[in-house]
Amino acid sequence: MEKSSIAIIGIGEVPTGTYPHRSRWDIIYETCMAAVKDAGIHKNDVQGVVTVAPQAQPEIAAEISFGKIPEELGLRGCKDVCICNAGGASTSNCLRMAEQYIESGLARFVLIPHVTVHSSIPAPDLINFFAKAGIDLQWEYPYGTTYNGIIAMMTRRYMHDSGTSAEEMASIVVSLRKWATLDPNSIFFGKEVPSVDKILSSGMVSSPLHKRECNVLADGGGAMVVTSAETASQMGVPAAYKLGESTRYFSAFTTTRSTESVTTGFRDATREALADAEVSKEQIDIWNVYLAYPVGHPMFMEAAGLCGPGRAGKVFLEGHTWPGGKMPWATIGDAIGRGHTGSGVSMATYIETARQLMGKAGARQVPDARFVFQNTSGGSGMNFIATVWGRANKP
């Protein structure tokens, strides 16, 4: 990017939890109204709505696809609407679409909502969805693959290649949960952070993954209001400015994905996003990483050159990524700490990026946070979208 293009100026969120009796539209109302209010604009200022596609919820996805949000919320100034689906990378694409709306002059303010209510989806449907999402129906699924299973295989290989111990892997969960316990929007807010021993003594789901190293499916929702960087600066409101971006596509399926392509992609996309932002990795105050399961975190940390090969496990174990540590990391605790809301974890992570840069992160606030690196990733790890955000617009 030649210059900063967009900024997040308003955020709204419901705590991640279990709301089987709460309607999805109730959550959409709450989060969207909060985001618009937080942005300090009028509802009729919203000229575009670009929604994160809810996963495994075909009815609400269809309703949103066919334009119900602006009508429901009475967004009288809305000029256009669409929905983006790239799994866990959906929110990144919503931001890109919003950027296009804004740069083309179609919209001044764009609303980006997300909602997921897993708890009202019948369990067999949910299990079935996650057994097939990003899993090939011909070459993987008939063998009894699950999300946990394919990640477990990646984890075993990573541990083998890097020499990372089970204790070090469990310490990633400890780190994520240390942030989550400070997050009022986390399903684990205020809950005891499990020790390495407790994690390793939880039941084995798919070796080497223990129960506490897997995600808890949860309900939640969030919304953001974005505008041009220029408008955000003129408004003088707290904002998160998008400074840089780069991306890599790997493959749709884990079977056909080489570890080398992933680590190279992590490295190159990160390097390019930082260069785009004209920020060095040393200047990054928060590494807001979203890779859903523990194994992605050390893989990324090593690939991005933030520690030596095979050292990442020790970085987590020694507490450098914890609140107060020298490398604040995944400050909502990723999906492990926040609770997995499908495509919503990427939304929650962007909201956290904005919250930190706006200085609204409460007990998790990293002092004087100026630059945040954030990534998203979709499917079963099909891609890696690296972004860099700043507290201020580029000079």
Nearer CB in complex with other proteins: 57/349: 57
Nearer CB in complex with other proteins: 126/235: 126
2, 74, 105, 144: which one binds other proteins (CB under 8 A)? 144
Give the separation between CA 132 and CA 173, rounded to whole angstroms.
Answer: 25
105, 203, 236, 367: which one binds other proteins (CB under 8 A)? 203
User: What are the E-state strand segments in the chain?
Assistant: 6-17, 46-52, 80-84, 109-117, 204-206, 209-210, 219-228, 240-249, 286-288, 371-376, 383-390
The residue assigned the tokens 């060095």 is: 280
> Rule CB under 8 A: is residue 137 a binding residue for other proteins?
yes
Closest distance of CB 179 from other proteins, Å: 25
**What is the C-alpha radius of gyration for the chain, rounded to an integer number of angstroms?**
20
Nearer CB in complex with other proteins: 40/163: 163
> Rule CB under 8 A: is residue 204 a binding residue for other proteins?
yes
CA-closest candidate to residue 172, choices 373, 24, 329:
329
Nearer CB in complex with other proteins: 81/209: 209
CA-closest candidate to residue 385, choices 94, 101, 107, 54:
94
Closest distance of CB 205 from other proteins, Å: 5
39, 50, 121, 279: which one binds other proteins (CB under 8 A)? 121
Q: Is 178 exposed, middle or buried (0-12, 13-18, 19+ CB in 10 A)?
A: buried
CA-closest candidate to residue 1, choices 270, 231, 273, 267:
273
90, 92, 145, 375: which one binds other proteins (CB under 8 A)? 145
Q: Which stretch binds other proteins (CB under 8 A): 29-37, 92-100, 187-195, 203-211?
A: 203-211
Q: Which two tokens stand for residue 156?
A: 């075993």
Give the separation between CA 29 and CA 159, rounded to whole angstroms.
Answer: 44
Evaluate whether 366 touches 286 at the Cβ level (below 8 Å).
Answer: yes
Closest distance of CB 62 from other proteins, Å: 18
> Rule CB under 8 A: is residue 261 a binding residue for other proteins?
no
> Rule CB under 8 A: is residue 122 a binding residue for other proteins?
yes
Q: Which stretch binds other proteins (CB under 8 A): 151-159, 235-243, 267-275, 278-286?
A: 151-159
Site for other proteins in 7-26 (CB under 8 A): 20
List Cα–Cα distances, 292 to 106, 113, 124, 330, in angstroms.
34, 20, 22, 11
Give the separation between CA 25 and CA 235, rounded to whole angstroms.
Answer: 30
Nearer CB in complex with other proteins: 128/195: 128
Element (H, E) at 60: helix 58-65
Give the x-and-dash track for 63-102 against other proteins (CB under 8 A).
Answer: ----------------------------------------
3, 141, 184, 308: which one binds other proteins (CB under 8 A)? 141
Nearer CB in complex with other proteins: 147/287: 147
Evaluate whether 35 touches 111 at the Cβ level (below 8 Å).
Answer: yes
Nearer CB in complex with other proteins: 20/40: 20
Closest distance of CB 255 from other proteins, Å: 4
Site for other proteins in 156-195 (CB under 8 A): 156-157, 160
Give the separation between CA 191 and CA 253, rounded to whole angstroms.
Answer: 35
Q: What are phi and psi of 117, to 5 degrees?
A: -125, 85
Q: Which stretch binds other proteins (CB under 8 A): 30-38, 40-48, 252-260, 340-348?
A: 252-260
Closest distance of CB 116 from other proteins, Å: 13
Interface ranges with other proteins (CB under 8 A): 20, 118-128, 131, 136-146, 148-150, 152-154, 156-157, 160, 203-209, 211, 214, 253-256
